[in-house]
Structure 1
């Protein structure tokens, strides 16, 4: 099929799937090798068997479709068909006619058995038109929190009033534990994260939605078994009878997070499908959508039996269409790609550029730069392939340097290993000497949903699994024959932990050090849900199907381990308050980050010179991974240092003062200090000088004079980013001489901004590419002329 694929016609239109209006419905499906395609319409979802499947799709009203030169089969039906269901009957040579759901379905029946016709306008929650994406500037300003929808609210002891395990749990605010601590979405807002990364929420295969709806909680999955890529998962919805409910409820989730100032990142799985022969693509265009080896066999770089051939035009188009749909229709703020290594780099580069130019410039794009096995794909998206392309990849180099291996007894810097200092320094610098061009290209983390979570890793390293009564697990079941519930009840993940002296405990200190390193390094920090409460999965290193007993977030642990939560909260506040931890360029890091020590299980560095415009002149960060306290010499240009992070507390306020040229750091801990501002010869302090400098630069203006030959400016505006202030839409002001001017404010030290002239909300663009304006040094207003349709910029 590899050679034949190039002969198959390609369609570039954006109307595949169903285009619904109250007056008519247009159905389009790309099936270039089909001999006949018929649309079948149904008044109901069909008859389900005991497994939750509909096996008989006969009896519908059938409408023959016509094929165009691009392989698209179409039919238009007059009238309002909302509430109906539909399938396609496809006939391919040498195969019997068979019914398939629409691969571009935007709504489906329970378990995705039939495509559904809905009016998306009816699914918008109240106030949806006023939903605004939170603005967080550069990707390095993000603090990402990875979360599974069901884990969030499946704890039976937590006081969720409704929607337990589903979308509606996120809509409940004001929830408290018995001690008055916030839980639920208020907890996330209190923690200070900027983005929640939701494990797959698009429709997946292996959980029987009908069983969940009747209260059967035995089915559980992370969702990396995709079925319908453009539809929310039904097991998280409150009503399966109405296909619009899951759509409306997920929109409400996004809306609620946005109101809390938190962006929503979707975990997406475009590298494979759950099955092939009865999956979403193979029955429609046999042999096209899947990658094969030199013998014509399905390749298995995913480890689950198949790979999508993303390098083929119509597969690439499908992925981009799907992402654009989620970003526009659901206001999603970013995407995390499962096994990004299996998606060819040109596809990732294209989708990144298009999403940011057509939908939202601040779109977060990142993924796993590896595969699950060998693949014939030539342009794999591995570490380094993202350089200069606008997206990021997970930094497993730094992960391993910090904690060691993922599931075994191997150690890293924070967990007892020696000789990791140089690797740690690479991570601190945002991997700019490893595999990145700029720090926003690295996602720094120590644990995610895969493998042992952080607490269980520390327990394993310290050979405490037996003491904690952790079972051995196999596919979500203890190997000793007990049920998961029995094994969890018998286990004690916190055996021997003194809550009175919690932050003196070795496992606690090592885990705080691990994520403390993540949160104070250059790059984009990422933490796994519940680590701020010492979450345990009872030693299960692969809990993708282990059920609520293992995976539920135990909200009682917030009160139990409140000092740990407050430590995380303080570190996040420190990072978000001080731009020195969020430098955006290689040059900034090279100028302002100085390594003070990297030896004997201690790494220390200084962020100096008001790095990235920080109000603090010098910041010293010290990591001590050793079993003993360490004495560290401090830079000689200051003799008085404010400690804001020690082994027990973290934040931005002074905890104590270090006088002199050295400081002592307790074992298995970190410390952050900043110096007193020094006075200049006129008596002004460094902070006063910085404030004065900021004031002179703060109102720096950029004036873009936009000229159109037709002098028609109605609806035109400029979209800007990188200003350091208010990115996004800037209106044009008409002048008497037939021009239009956009006035843009930029923050101190901004030397380049990006811009696109667009019509209304991306109905058209002046030039179909991102453009940049170099501002240079100084405080003067920058004035330029930009003529429609030309790339050249004329300085005034």
Structure 2
């Protein structure tokens, strides 16, 4: 039976229970493919079986094909064969098997095409031991650590028994992984994408499409994972049976599911929330992605000539407004929450997700966890942190990033270098400290709990490399010959790094730091057998490098130990003080000085129930020290230019001198 090809094709409604529904007696398959003339389900006993048994499916209306097979099919694999009219507009034909986009687990090969097959899972028997969500009620209590899973334990310095994967983070490690997170004191881990993606991309100088060669990816890898193929399925390359060998079969058993859950449970036992970085603005580009072959016109935004739109810059923007695409997004998020106890999500290029879908994401997620963490990267096809705040989402705050650090280490430096980023003023910096609120300069948020404050992320230079290049521009193009010498910060580099940390952890909102930021990690492109002409240089886009360019070398901490201790102390101080986390603008008073690079404020602790009032002062002048006259009374100095603690460094009254590029935090018991 042929599905009608009409305008209705573009507006098919969502359908319940797409995917497979197995039992010991029978398995039901439901597959949305509205413009196919025939769909065959092909069933395999093993992944390596070339030819399976084919069954013609029935079209039951609404574009959904259905088949029920009697018997127990647990542990078997399947995919779909799609037939459609040859000259159907905006439809990509394929002879390949198409895996189920609603499948919960796929087995694949380390190949750009992946050759995925969907596994029919047995009922789950995992023992959560009473585990549940651990996200705080107030977003402002979060201290987020962004990291790639493998980076946390892959380097030998981590001391992990099972390095590089789910078990590495959940299990024993001397210095890295969970041990490091506990030592630092963060309470949320934001992991780069872990939904199933193709780890392998076309090799360098190999064809990507007709007339297009891969001239940019020397490694032929997609290490970061921002090319999702299957939204319900966990990435298997990080499981104990995973492999990075070319053409190896990965996910030959569903062990990745159990190990992923063990990882979440281990983090939750330490009070650490788990946030997944998810990519719903586009899909994988080079593999046999099922959505491309189910119905390109339905699932993707297209140009008038039928080519894929690419406002994401990634080749194929998902049409999130299509009802079944919306269903795929929302149902997969709910599945990750219910099945894997995920506390929250960071949405890559979230501005490309239509607002109806974004609203539905929030309303449905809140039904499962009233404290669910939803964070937007508020750009992609536009820029709208204000809009996400209006919908009660949090969002990454690039305003504070640019104002404090700058947007370019050579031509657009920020406050920590004694400079003004082109669109930043002293009043804007004060507003950043108050929460980057709508009614202030450069304001983007209705309330501070929506502002995710960051100075470093996976994108761009590390903060440490940004600072190094800012002080010596030649480092941008001079290969590093001595990594330790390069990593060790100079006196003024260290001052800028500490000033950045002080601003980050005293600003109202949600602080986020990227892995290694706490010791000014250097990310130098490793010299390997890959002919990368940039080897030895600082890396600002390491998405394709599965090597020590990305892996965290914990031995480097000792090179900048005082900076690491400073971060650790600031985190501890922030956690101890409601006023430093939850104050409203009415609680904060700024004092204006003749030098705009000298910023001070008093935060009154009464409304937050804090025992103390706080004084924060930052001198970003590179040449002159500043004199700070403390208000009347005895003040405890908690942060100086050298140390940061949650207990007093000293008690004093009178005047404090701030050296160039330094700051201080003091507190006094409320009367």
Q: CA deviation at 1:132?
A: 2.3
Q: CA deviation at 1:96?
A: 6.5
Please tell me whether residue 463 in structure 1 is matched to residue 454 in structure 2. no
Corresponding residue number in structure 2 for 1:593:
588
Q: Quick one: which of 603, 610, 627 aligns to 2:606? A: 610
Q: CA deviation at 1:628?
A: 4.0
1:135–1:540 distance in 2 versus 1, CA, 3 Å: closer
User: 1:213-292 maps to which residues of 2 (within 5 A)?
Assistant: 219=221, 221-239=223-241, 240=250, 242-275=252-285, 278-292=288-302
SS at match of 2:483: coil
User: 1:85-234 maps to which residues of 2 (within 5 A)?
Assistant: 85-94=77-86, 95=93, 98-111=96-109, 112=114, 113-122=116-125, 124=126, 127-162=127-162, 164-173=163-172, 175-176=173-174, 182-207=175-200, 219=221, 221-234=223-236
Moved over 6 A (4+): none
In the aligned structure 2, how far is the partner of 1:320 from the partner of 1:370? 20
In the aligned structure 1, how far is the partner of 2:57 from the partner of 2:40? 5
Q: CA deviation at 1:566?
A: 1.8
SS at match of 1:235: coil
User: 1:525-540 maps to which residues of 2 (within 5 A)?
Assistant: 525-538=511-524, 539-540=538-539
Q: When the two structures are aligned, how many residues end up with a matched partner? A: 611
Q: Quick one: which of 417, 439, 451 aligns to 1:442? A: 451
Q: CA deviation at 1:8?
A: 4.0
In the aligned structure 2, how far is the partner of 1:644 from the partner of 1:23? 66
Corresponding residue number in structure 1 for 2:434:
429
| Structure label with greater radius of gyration | 1
SS at match of 1:286: helix
1:158–1:413 distance in 2 versus 1, CA, 3 Å: same
User: 1:506-525 maps to which residues of 2 (within 5 A)?
Assistant: 506-525=492-511
Corresponding residue number in structure 2 for 1:355:
365
Q: CA deviation at 1:220?
A: 5.5
Q: Quick one: which of 625, 633, 645 aligns to 1:651? A: 645
User: 1:673-712 maps to which residues of 2 (within 5 A)?
Assistant: 673-677=666-670, 686=671
Deviations 1:626-680 (A, max 9, x none): 12453344464x33211111111112211112312x3222221221111244xxx
Corresponding residue number in structure 2 for 1:767:
none
1:44–1:341 distance in 2 versus 1, CA, 3 Å: same
1:343–1:5 distance in 2 versus 1, CA, 3 Å: farther
8 Å Cα contact 1:218/1:547 also seen in 2: no
Deviates more, 1:554-563 or 1:627-636: 627-636
Q: CA deviation at 1:494?
A: 3.7
Q: CA deviation at 1:277?
A: 8.4
Corresponding residue number in structure 2 for 1:576:
575
Q: Quick one: which of 483, 490, 494 aligns to 1:492? A: 483
Corresponding residue number in structure 2 for 1:664:
657
In the aligned structure 2, how far is the partner of 1:135 from the partner of 1:335? 11
8 Å Cα contact 1:146/1:199 also seen in 2: yes
Q: CA deviation at 1:169?
A: 0.7
1:406–1:244 distance in 2 versus 1, CA, 3 Å: farther
In the aligned structure 2, how far is the partner of 1:568 from the partner of 1:7? 55
Deviations 1:130-157 (A, max 9, x none): 1122242211110000000111122134
**Residue ranges of structure 2 left out of the alignment (5+ in a row):** 87-92, 203-218, 242-249, 525-537
8 Å Cα contact 1:42/1:84 also seen in 2: yes
8 Å Cα contact 2:630/2:653 also seen in 1: no
Q: CA deviation at 1:561?
A: 3.1
Corresponding residue number in structure 2 for 1:758:
none
In the aligned structure 2, how far is the partner of 1:277 from the partner of 1:135? 35
In the aligned structure 2, how far is the partner of 1:494 from the partner of 1:410? 26
1:384–1:76 distance in 2 versus 1, CA, 3 Å: same
In the aligned structure 1, how far is the partner of 2:6 from the partner of 2:355? 22
Q: CA deviation at 1:381?
A: 6.5
Corresponding residue number in structure 1 for 2:417:
415
8 Å Cα contact 2:237/2:251 also seen in 1: no
Deviations 1:382-415 (A, max 9, x none): 2211133121111111100001114644210012
Q: CA deviation at 1:495?
A: 3.7
Q: CA deviation at 1:429?
A: 1.5
8 Å Cα contact 1:28/1:75 also seen in 2: yes
Please tell me whether residue 17 in structure 1 is matched to residue 22 in structure 2. no
In the aligned structure 2, how far is the partner of 1:100 from the partner of 1:38? 10
8 Å Cα contact 1:34/1:91 also seen in 2: yes
8 Å Cα contact 1:445/1:526 also seen in 2: yes
TM-score of the two chains, using structure 1 as the length reference: 0.73
In the aligned structure 1, how far is the partner of 2:129 from the partner of 2:22? 20
